[in-house]
Chains A and B, each alone.
Chain A
Amino acid sequence: MKTPPTFRYGRDFEVVQRLRPEPMTEREQAAQHLIEGLEFEIFQHKAGMIALEGKETTMKLGASTAMRWGDVAFGIYTAQGDLAICATGIYHHAVLSQLPMKYIVKHWRDDQSVGLREGDSFFFNDPFYGGVHNADMGLAIPVFADGELICFIGAAVHTGECGGSEPGGMVNGARSRYDEGLLVPPIKIGEHFVLKEDILAMLSNMTRDPRTMILDIKARLAACRIAERRVNEIVSEKGADFYVGALRKVLKITGEAARKKVSRLNDGVYRQPRFLDTTGPEDALLKINLTVIKKGDKIKLCFTGSSPAIPDRPVNSYFQGIIGLAMVYFCGWFFHDLPANNGLLECLEWEFPEDTFVNAKGDMPVSYAPATQVAFAQGMFMCAARMVYSIDPKRAVGSWNSGFAVTPFGGFNQWGDPIADITPEINATGAGARPDMDGVDSAGAFFATMSDCGDIESMEADRPFVYLFRNFFNNSYGHGKFRGGSGVGFGMMVHGVPWVAIGGMGFGTRFPATLGIFGGRAAPTVFVQSVHGSNMGTMMAEGNLDLPCNMGELYGETSNETGTRVLGHVSSPPKPFLGGDTIYVPVSGGAGYGDVLDRDPEFVIADLRRNLVTSDAAERIYKIVYDKSTLRLDAAATEVARSTARDERKRTAKSFDDFNRSWQALRPKPEVLRYYGAYPDPAAVAGGAAL
C-alpha cells in the first residue's frame, strides 16, 4: 500500500496551509491556448449555472434548518482542489472546502486502499479541514473524463446536529474537541455511484437526528451528481482539455483582477479591535486585535495582540476559519464584481500568532468558532470601510448584524421523531447602514446572503414549537445618519411535547457585537428571556387577545404573561423547557452609519410611523421635535435642537490629551479580564506588542 511520505495518522498540518491556488499544472498550461474570449464567457456562464442549480437542488432536498433555508455552498473545484466556480452566499464554506479536496488528492488519490474513481463520494466534517465547526458538513465527488480526474464538485452545509455532548451542533460546555461530536476527515462514503450503507449507519448512529443527517448527505450527493452530468455535457461538447484549462483560467483572471483592484486602495494600516463577551459557558472579555496592512497589490491581515487561546473553552477558532470569513467580505462586498473563487486569495496574506484563540491548536474545542469568526468579519467590514471609501464610497458600509443569537435545541418532536438543530432566525438580521441609505430591514445573514429565515409554518410542522410572534424589533439596530436595518425578535412556546432542550449560542450581551461606522452607533446588546411555568398556553386556549405581539411589549408593563421569568446571556448551555414554557430571542439589526444628528428628520418621522424607532430615541438620540399625535415634524425647532446639541458637544467634550489622561486610568474588573491576557495588550505578556 502506497502511503504518501507526509501522511501520518492524525491531522495533516501541511494541507490546511494551502488555501491559495496551487501552481498551474502542465495540462492546464497546455490548454490555455484553447480558451477563446467568447467561448470562455459562455463557459463561465454555464459553469455558474451548474453551480447555481447544485445549490438550489441541495436546498430543495435537504432536511436541516440551514439546508432548507439556503445556507448552502456549492462549488466546482479543480483537479487539485482549488475553488474555481461557486454559487453561494456562504462563501467561507465554498472556500474552505478546498482543504478537504486537497486532502483527498494528497492522501487518497494514490492510496490503494482508498483510491479515487468515477462514482466515488467523500464526506467530511472535521473542522480542522472545514475550518469552522463540527456542525458544518460537506460532500464531494471526483469527476473524470477518459479516466483522468478533471475536477471535484462539492456541497457544504451546516447540518447542525453532529453528536456532541450537547444537542444542536454547538457545545457550550465543550472542554476538548472530543466533546464536540463527529470528527470525520475526508472519508469515502460511496463507490460506484452508491452510498455505503455501513458508513451511513455509523454516521446516523453517532448523531441525535439520524433522519436529518442522512437526508442532508443524500441531498448533497444528488446535487453533485446532477452537476456532474452537466459538466460531462460541457466536456462532451468542448473536450476535457478545454474544461480543465477554462477552470484554471477563471482562477488566473480572478487573481489578476483582484490584485489590480487592491492596488487602487490607499496604502496604509487600518485597525479595528474586536471584543467578545463570552468564552461559551461564562461571561468574560476577549480581544481579536485586527490590523489590516494594505501595500501595493496586497492586503495582509495580522492578529498580534489577540487574547490567548483557551484550551478548554469552545470559542477558539482555527486560523483557516478566519480566512474563510475574510472571504465572505471579499467575495460578497469588495470583489463583488469579480468571480468568487480561490484566485481572490492571491492578494491576501495573513499572520496568526501562536497561542491565541484565533489560531486554535491541539485538542482545543471550536464549537463556538463561528462567533469568533463573525466578530472578526465585522471588524473586516469596519477596516474595509475606511480603506475603500476613497475609491468606492458606496462600498464603505456598516456591518450587518453578527447573526449570533442562535437557538440550538434537541429532543423529540410532536411526531415522536428525534430532532436536534437550530432555529432559522439567524438568517433574518438587519443589514448595515450605507453611505446613501439605511440598512435593509431583516436582510438576511451577511455570511449567507442567499439564505432566508423560512416560514414559521414550516418550522412548526416538524418542530415542537408554536411561534408567538416574529417581527421587527424597533430597538434592534444602530442609530446614525443612516440607521442599520431592523432585525427581528421572536417568541416561541414549547408545544406538543412534554419537554425539549433549548440553549443559546452567540455573543453581544455585555459588549455589543455589531458596531457602527463613521460615528454611527452600535446595534444594542441582546439577551434571551425565558418564562418557565408560563401561562401563555392557557391564555391562548382562552382566546385571550391581550398577548405580547413584539419584543418591545415584553419589557413594558403591558405583558400579562406569568411564570418564572429568566433573563440571560445569549450564550448558554441547553436546558430543559417543559411544554408551555416560552422563550424570546432578539435577532438584531445592522450597524449605524454617520452622525445621528445628520439623519434626515423626515426619515425619523417615517420610522415613527412604521414603529421602527421609539419616541424616546427620536427625541433624545435624533433630537427631533414633532407633534406626537400627528407625527408632524417641526423642522425649525428640530434644527434649533440639533444646533444646541452640537454646541453642547463642543462645550462639554475635552481635548484628546485631557480626555486620555483620565480615561487611561480606568480598568475593567479583574473577573471580566480573566481570559483576556495582559490588559490592554495581550501581546505584551509575551514580550511583543500589537501592531
Chain B
Amino acid sequence: MKIRITEYLNVDLASEQWECHACGHELADARTNYKHGCLVAEVPIEEAHPGMTGAEFSFSPDPDYCRLIEFYCPGCGTTIENEYLPPGHPITNDIELDITALKARHVVVEGAAQ
C-alpha cells in the first residue's frame, strides 16, 4: 500500500521505502531522510533570483547568508523539494514519519474496510 505524503513523495508501506510520486522511483528507507536518495545540486542564487539592481541590495539573496539547494528524483529529474540554507548548514530531515504508527493506522483502516 502506498501513502501519498507530499506533492512528490509516497511511502510504500510494504517495502518501507520513500518513492517519487511522479515516476515511482525508490528513493530511500522510509525511516530515514528521503533526501538521502535524491540527487542534490546547489542552484546559483543569482540564477534563481536575479538581482536587477547591480548593487549590494537587490532582489537576490546574499550568498554569505543564503544558498539554494534542490533535491531531484534520480529517475525523472523532478524537483522533489528544495532548501534555502546558510552556507554549510546541515540539510534538514523535514519529514520523519513514525512508520510503525503509519502501518498500524492503515492496517486498521484496511481491516475495517474489509
Q: Given contacts A389-B6, A510-B61, A525-B60, are A519 and B88 in contact (CB under 8 A)? A: no
Give the residues in chain A near B38, CB-CB below 8 Å: 656
Give the residues in chain B near A390, CB-CB below 8 Å: 3-5
Give the residues in chain B near A660, CB-CB below 8 Å: 40, 91
Cα–Cα distance between A646 and B69 once the two chains are bound (Å): 16
The answer to whether B78 touches A595 (Cβ under 8 A) is yes
* Contact mask for chain A residues 517-552; partner B; CB cutoff 8 A; 1 contact, 0 none: 011111011110000000000000000000000000
* Contact mask for chain B residues 37-56; partner A; CB cutoff 8 A; 1 contact, 0 none: 11111100001111011011
Give the residues in chain B near A620, CB-CB below 8 Å: 47
Contacts of B18-76 to chain A: CB distance below 8 A: 35-42, 47-50, 52-53, 55-62, 64-72, 74, 76
Q: Given contacts A555-B53, A663-B88, are A527 and B58 in contact (CB under 8 A)? A: yes
Q: Given contacts A512-B84, A650-B74, are A271 and B93 in contact (CB under 8 A)? A: yes
Give the residues in chain A near B48, CB-CB below 8 Å: 521, 621
The answer to whether A475 touches B92 (Cβ under 8 A) is no
The listed residue (A266, A382, A521, A655) touching B39 by CB distance below 8 A is: A655
The answer to whether A680 touches B90 (Cβ under 8 A) is yes
Give the residues in chain A near B81, CB-CB below 8 Å: 518-519
* Contact mask for chain A residues 375-392; partner B; CB cutoff 8 A; 1 contact, 0 none: 000000011011001100
Q: Does A569 belong to the interface (CB within 8 Å)?
A: yes
The answer to whether A273 touches B89 (Cβ under 8 A) is yes
The listed residue (A475, A519, A594, A665) touching B59 by CB distance below 8 A is: A475
The listed residue (B37, B52, B95) touching A268 by CB distance below 8 A is: B95
The listed residue (A520, A646, A657, A669) touching B77 by CB distance below 8 A is: A646
The answer to whether A386 touches B84 (Cβ under 8 A) is no
The listed residue (A277, A518, A567, A616) touching B55 by CB distance below 8 A is: A567
- Say how far A282's CB is from chain B's closest CB, in angstroms: 13
Give the residues in chain A near B74, CB-CB below 8 Å: 650
- Say how far A381's CB is from chain B's closest CB, in angstroms: 13
The listed residue (B62, B69, B84, B95) touching A522 by CB distance below 8 A is: B84
Q: Given contacts A527-B58, A653-B41, A659-B41, are A521 and B82 in contact (CB under 8 A)? A: yes
The answer to whether A511 touches B65 (Cβ under 8 A) is yes
Q: Does B113 belong to the interface (CB within 8 Å)?
A: no
Q: Given contacts A597-B79, A660-B91, are A525 and B58 in contact (CB under 8 A)? A: yes
Q: Does A654 belong to the interface (CB within 8 Å)?
A: yes
The answer to whether B62 touches A510 (Cβ under 8 A) is yes
Q: Does A162 belong to the interface (CB within 8 Å)?
A: no
Cα–Cα distance between A645 and B79 once the two chains are bound (Å): 11
Cα–Cα distance between A680 and B88 once the two chains are bound (Å): 8
Q: Given contacts A267-B102, A268-B95, are A519 and B77 in contact (CB under 8 A)? A: no
Cα–Cα distance between A87 and B68 once the two chains are bound (Å): 40
The answer to whether B53 touches A667 (Cβ under 8 A) is no
Q: Does B94 belong to the interface (CB within 8 Å)?
A: yes
> How many residues of chain B are within 8 Å of chain A by beta carbon?
63
Q: Does B110 belong to the interface (CB within 8 Å)?
A: no
Q: Does A647 belong to the interface (CB within 8 Å)?
A: yes
Give the residues in chain B near A511, CB-CB below 8 Å: 61-62, 65-66, 84, 86
The answer to whether B66 touches A519 (Cβ under 8 A) is no
Chain A residue with the shortest CB-CB distance to B88: A666
- Say how far B21's CB is from chain A's closest CB, in angstroms: 10
Q: Given contacts A271-B93, A521-B82, A672-B64, are A527 and B39 in contact (CB under 8 A)? A: no
Cα–Cα distance between A382 and B95 once the two chains are bound (Å): 11
Cα–Cα distance between A270 and B97 once the two chains are bound (Å): 8
Q: Given contacts A271-B92, A386-B95, A680-B86, are A512 and B49 in contact (CB under 8 A)? A: yes
Contacts of A247-304 to chain B: CB distance below 8 A: 266-273, 275, 277, 285, 295
Q: Does A435 belong to the interface (CB within 8 Å)?
A: yes
- Say how far B12's CB is from chain A's closest CB, in angstroms: 14
Q: Does A223 belong to the interface (CB within 8 Å)?
A: no
Cα–Cα distance between A647 and B94 once the two chains are bound (Å): 26
Cα–Cα distance between A519 and B78 once the two chains are bound (Å): 9
The listed residue (B6, B61, B65, B76) touching A396 by CB distance below 8 A is: B6
- Say how far A478's CB is from chain B's closest CB, in angstroms: 10
* Contact mask for chain A residues 381-422; partner B; CB cutoff 8 A; 1 contact, 0 none: 011011001100100100000000000000000000000000
Chain A residue with the shortest CB-CB distance to B36: A656
Instruction: Name the residue in B52, B79, B90 with the highest tally of chain A Cβ atoms < 10 Å from its Cβ.
Output: B79
Chain B residue with the shortest CB-CB distance to A595: B79
Give the residues in chain A near B36, CB-CB below 8 Å: 656-657
Q: Does B14 belong to the interface (CB within 8 Å)?
A: no
Cα–Cα distance between A519 and B53 once the two chains are bound (Å): 26
Cα–Cα distance between A272 and B60 once the two chains are bound (Å): 22
The listed residue (B56, B78, B89) touching A680 by CB distance below 8 A is: B89
Give the residues in chain B near A681, CB-CB below 8 Å: 90
Give the residues in chain A near B77, CB-CB below 8 Å: 645-647, 649-650
The answer to whether A665 touches B88 (Cβ under 8 A) is yes
Q: Does A41 belong to the interface (CB within 8 Å)?
A: no
Give the residues in chain A near B53, CB-CB below 8 Å: 555, 567
The answer to whether B79 touches A519 (Cβ under 8 A) is yes
Q: Given contacts A524-B49, A650-B77, are A518 and B6 in contact (CB under 8 A)? A: yes
Give the residues in chain B near A266, CB-CB below 8 Å: 5, 97-98, 101-102, 105
The answer to whether A268 touches B90 (Cβ under 8 A) is no
- Say how far B85's CB is from chain A's closest CB, in angstroms: 8
The answer to whether A273 touches B92 (Cβ under 8 A) is yes
A/B interface sample: 21 pairs, CB < 8 A = A271-B92, A277-B65, A386-B94, A509-B62, A511-B65, A511-B66, A519-B80, A521-B48, A524-B49, A527-B57, A567-B56, A567-B57, A567-B58, A594-B7, A650-B77, A653-B70, A656-B39, A660-B40, A663-B91, A664-B88, A669-B64
The 7 closest A-B pairs by CB, nearest first: A646-B77, A666-B88, A653-B39, A666-B87, A519-B79, A510-B62, A659-B40
- Beyond A266-B97, A654-B40, list 16 extra A-B contacts (CB 8 Å): A266-B98, A266-B105, A386-B5, A386-B6, A389-B5, A390-B5, A510-B62, A510-B66, A512-B61, A512-B66, A519-B8, A519-B78, A524-B49, A649-B72, A666-B88, A667-B88
Interface residues of A (CB under 8 A from B): 266-273, 275, 277, 285, 295, 382-383, 385-386, 389-390, 393, 396, 435, 475, 481, 509-512, 515-516, 518-522, 524-527, 555, 567-569, 593-598, 616, 620-621, 645-647, 649-650, 652-657, 659-660, 663-669, 672, 679-681
